[in-house]
Amino acid sequence: DGGITQSPKYLFRKEGQNVTLSCEQNLNHDAMYWYRQDPGQGLRLIYYSQIVNDFQKGDIAEGYSVSREKKESFPLTVTSAQKNPTAFYLCASRQGDIQYFGAGTRLSVL
């Protein structure tokens, strides 16, 4: 069953803590994306990667980091520098000009 798998579904972060959100795809897509979704603000791009070992900052990259060591995986780390991390995070892969989305991870701060 092909698709984008994000885990965990819910995540809680303590003050000063780094947390990592997982995104895995078995669609053999080269490009992958991370978005943040906040109420009334739509989807905003955090980072994207066109190929393995390469990634670019999106519009709101501050306080986040990514890696792309494997084609299938594009984890996102929310660092302690991100002062307002509470949001819904969506991962996507891309084939041609169409994006395919995961189910999302909801991150909350304790």
Residues that bind other proteins (CB under 8 A): 4, 31, 33, 35, 40-45, 48, 50, 56, 58-59, 90, 92, 97-99, 101-104
Closest CA to 3 of 89, 107, 99, 76: 99
Complex with other proteins: residue 43 or 109, whichever CB lies closer = 43
Distance CA 106, CA 8 (A): 8
Query: At its nearest, how many Å lie between other proteins and the CB of residue 56?
Result: 8
Complex with other proteins: residue 2 or 16, whichever CB lies closer = 2
Distance CA 59, CA 84 (A): 15
